[in-house]
Amino acid sequence: MQLFLQLLVIIVTLIISHEHEAKAAFVPPYSSVVMPVTKHTDATKPLYSVQIMTKYVNLQYLHANFLIDLDAPFIWHNCILQWNSFPGSCPNDTLCTYPVSCEEYQCTDVRTTYSYPNTPSCPPVNNDSTIPGWGYCTCPVDVVNPVTGSCNQALLNYDEFTVNTSNGRNVFDGLYGFYPNAACVDSSSFSSFPANVSGVMALSSSPYALPAYLFEPLKRIVALCLPSNVSAPGALLYGNSSYNLLPQSNVDVRSYLSFTPLLKHNDSFGYFINVNSIVIKARFIDVPTNTTARISTTEPYTTLRTDIYNGVVRRFAKVTQRIPLAKPVAPFGHCYNTSNLVSVKVPDIDFGVQGGKNWIISTANSIKQITKDVACLAFVDGGATSEPAIVIGTFQFEDNFLLFDLENSIFGYSSSLLRKQTSCSNFNFTLTPSP
């Protein structure tokens, strides 16, 4: 009997050991997840959204578009809260989720530490709201509309979203689910949003933003490639994969990147870098040492503090003096008459960043064609007391490949991909079977 027990222990130990070895040896077929990025021009300013899967109905997923926000502390979208829901109680075209109670730690944590900083006048949150038939308090939180700056109230919830897996080159039919604490708002909160956009996807450093909910084997690396047109999507990838764009599908876009440290700001969950200089045709613009620049996905054009803006415009006007001027078109202060030009070609604007090579702003990212006859320098005067002094807007990094390496707190930038004969709209979204 003793011999039998010894043999049984040995067999069980071998089985457990083999299972652990098999798990350790397992390498998933994906290294990232991917979401298509759409440019929208039907709101008061150009904006960008990611598409994700939200609900499984009739053997297929419903899709929803979420506005990309690098500053938002948590995800929020159009949904309704239900408790003890039963089949058929939630309409097929509606997303129903479960509420976070005011007594749970997430409620206090979001309200006190990871809420929107510097919120405008918002209605006071309280614990009076309950779900019919449940009786316990829900968790109201304030959200700030990135289009209008207005404040709305939302209810924190337990959510579930799904995205496609990828190796950075292909999109697989395999899926990845994640379960954030998001917030529900009613549909009226999105009247200022682009059509068919019904949420805000937080990509900030907050522990309630998207990066906090994507786990191993994914690395904490956000790759963002904004498209310059509305007809073909760009890409948002999360994970440590190679990144390949057509037609050079064998070229890893990371080889184009230069890097600079990501900085933290006490009053923001967003991402900042240091800009030490701005150079236009070998002439330096006066920029204070270690000037802070915020990277924004909700500001359409780069804003510069007045002293920096004036220096840029003066130098740019000098090196483009052969191009006739036109009356400025808001929000821009320096425009050109292009009626007799086949195309506009201007010198690069180089942003010298801390510890890295220049971030080169080429013509495609510095000149905005307003009408057939008018084009403008796509930088905006942010005012004499603008803080931070520079906010880098989306027009300046369309068709640029950006990498937010949250593992190592570094930021990668490619400058214009158009000079590499590709663009952000060249990611291959054709669905392929998982390996």
Task: Note the pLDDT tens digit of each residue in 37-51.
Answer: 999 999 999 999 999
Q: Which residues contact 24 (CB under 8 A, 6 or more apart)?
A: none
Residue type, 29: P
List the single range of 14-23, 245-254, 282-291 with lowest mean pLDDT.
14-23
| pLDDT tens per residue across span 61-99 | 999 999 999 999 999 999 988 876 565 677 777 788 889
| Helix%, strand%, coil% for the chain, nearest 5 | 15, 40, 45
Distance CA 64, CA 161 (A): 10
**Parts of the chain belonging to CATH 2.40.70.10:** 32-243+428-432, 253-419
| pLDDT tens per residue across span 403-428 | 999 999 999 999 999 999 999 999 99
Q: With 90 as the cut, is the pLDDT of residue 388 above it?
A: yes
Q: How many CB atoms lie within 10 A of CB 101?
A: 18
Q: How many CB atoms lie within 10 A of CB 195?
A: 10
Written as six digits, the tokens of 74 are: 């948590």
CATH topology of domain 32-243+428-432: Cathepsin D, subunit A; domain 1 (2.40.70)
Q: With 80 as the cut, is the pLDDT of residue 6 above it?
A: no
Written as six digits, the tokens of 274 are: 């240091």
Cis ω for the linkage preceding 140 (within 30 of 0): no
User: What pLDDT is attached to residue 88?
Assistant: 62
User: What pLDDT is attached to residue 86?
Assistant: 60
Backbone angles phi, psi at 327, to 5 degrees: -60, 130
Angle at alpha carbon of residue 434, lines to 433 and 435, rounded to 5°: 110
- Is residue 419 helix, strand or coil? helix
Backbone angles phi, psi at 420, to 5 degrees: -105, 15
Average pLDDT, the chain: 90
User: What pLDDT is attached to residue 5?
Assistant: 42
User: What pLDDT is attached to residue 10?
Assistant: 44
Q: With 50 as the cut, is the pLDDT of residue 13 above it?
A: no
Contact 31, 239 (CB under 8 A): yes
Contact 349, 313 (CB under 8 A): no
pTM of the predicted protein model = 0.91
Distance CA 243, CA 232 (A): 18
Give the residue with greater pLDDT, 54 vs 134. 54
Contact 336, 326 (CB under 8 A): yes
DSSP alpha helices (H): ranges in 113-164? none
Distance CA 286, CA 2 (A): 85
- Is residue 139 helix, strand or coil? coil
| Percent of the chain's residues with pLDDT above 90 | 76
Q: With 80 as the cut, is the pLDDT of residue 118 above it?
A: no
Contact 125, 156 (CB under 8 A): no
Q: How many CB atoms lie within 10 A of CB 385?
A: 8
- Is residue 359 helix, strand or coil? strand
Q: Integer distance in angstroms from the first to the last C-alpha of the chain?
A: 48
Q: With 80 as the cut, is the pLDDT of residue 330 above it?
A: yes
Give the residue with greater pLDDT, 81 vs 200. 200
CATH of domain 253-419: 2.40.70.10
Residue written as tokens 């929208």?
Answer: 40
Torsion angle (degrees, nearest 10) of CA 198, 204, 206, 211: 80
Q: What is the mean pLDDT of residues 154-163?
A: 95
Written as six digits, the tokens of 295 are: 């990277």
Cis ω for the linkage preceding 433 (within 30 of 0): no
Q: Across the chain, how many H-helices and E-strands are there? A: 4, 31
List the single range of 50-59, 205-214, 381-390 with lowest mean pLDDT.
50-59
User: What pLDDT is attached to residue 87?
Assistant: 59
Distance CA 339, CA 375 (A): 10
Distance CA 390, CA 375 (A): 22
Q: Which residues contact 108 (CB under 8 A, 6 or more apart)?
A: none
Contact 100, 157 (CB under 8 A): yes
Q: With 90 as the cut, is the pLDDT of residue 337 above it?
A: yes
Q: With 50 as the cut, is the pLDDT of residue 3 above it?
A: no
Angle at alpha carbon of residue 399, lines to 41 and 195, rounded to 5°: 20
The burial class, CB within 10 Å (0-12 / 13-18 / 19+), for 38 is buried
Dihedral sign computed on CA atoms, order 143, 44, 161, 29? negative
| Percent of the chain's residues with pLDDT above 70 | 91
User: What pLDDT is attached to residue 251?
Assistant: 94
